[in-house]
Amino acid sequence: MISSCGSRNSSLRSARVGQGTDCFRSSLFVMGEFGANDYRSFLVSNRTVEQATAYVPQIVDTISQGLEVLIRHGAKYIVVPDIFPLGCVPTVLTKLASPNKVDYYRNGCLKSANRLGRYHNSLLRQRIKLLRHKYPHAKIIAAEYYRPVLAFLDMPGHFGLNSNTTLLTCCGAGGPPYNYDFNSECGWPGVMACADPSQALQWDGFHLTESAYRAVADGWLHGPYADPPIMHVARP
């Protein structure tokens, strides 16, 4: 969670004792994204998509409870991101690789894992709608990772990305189709980054590259990947 009230720990401590409320009201909080690491951990530890799906309501409930705590402490501006299309992530693609082409979308993403992401995002959006009604004074911004990542895959050239490497890990090992090896991850001895990370989409097998995140951030600030766009809320 990120805000402009100094360190997150000191900010929350001061809020608990009734201080720092003005800072909370004037700060922009980014709540997450949460849940993606939980689902990824499930999927790469030999559990099924169905088993991971069972935890979605509990995870969304926890996010909602955290939002309410912030709002009750005075937070007014909160960005709540959804999660990535998990079936487009090299770690998940490597672990759940299927010999059946019917299990994949045209862009190479796994259908089952993407359904998990869509379910999470659908429940999260419903909860945001309820919280907006419950706390009309708060500006809760629903931000997206899911839709921009699909846009990067469908139109890589539009974003300056290499269409031949959209599912390849830039900082990884093992070569195509995903250049990801659970025994040779980014940061390990001998694992090198690709020649031009600015044209890559996937950084280390789960996170995007700086250039991709820049495009996401622009979509959050100005649209179309945030409802409402952050700069629309920030305007006096």
Q: How many domains does the structure of the chain reveal?
A: 1
> Within 13 A of 182's CA, how many CA atoms are on the CB side?
9
Decide if 208 is inside a domain: no
pLDDT at 14: 46
Range(s) of the domain holding residue 125: 8-154+213-234
Residue 84 belongs to a domain: yes
Does this model's pTM top 0.85? My answer is: yes
Query: Residue 49 domain-assigned?
Result: yes
Indicate whether 166 belongs to any domain: no
What are 40-87's pLDDT values in tens digits?
999 999 899 999 999 999 999 999 999 999 999 999 999 999 999 999
Q: What is the pLDDT along the chain (236 residues), one digit of tens a residue?
A: 444 565 444 444 444 434 556 788 888 999 988 999 999 999 999 899 999 999 999 999 999 999 999 999 999 999 999 999 999 999 999 999 999 999 999 999 999 999 999 999 999 999 999 999 999 999 999 999 999 999 999 999 999 999 999 999 999 999 999 999 999 999 999 999 999 999 999 999 999 999 999 999 999 999 999 999 999 986 55
DSSP state of 43: H
162 inside domain: no
Residue 143 falls inside a structural domain: yes
**Tokens matching residue 108:** 């190479």
Q: How far apart are CA 19 and CA 149, in angstroms?
A: 39
Determine the pLDDT at residue 8: 46
Domain for residue 185, yes or no?
no
Classify residue 163: in a domain, yes or no. no
Report the C-alpha gap between 49 and 153 in whole angstroms.
22
pLDDT of residue 10: 42
Helices (H), ranges, the chain: 8-16, 21-26, 36-43, 49-53, 56-72, 90-95, 111-134, 146-154, 210-222, 230-234
101 φ/ψ angles, rounded to the nearest 5 degrees: -60, -25
Percent helix / strand / coil, the chain, rounded to 5: 50, 10, 40
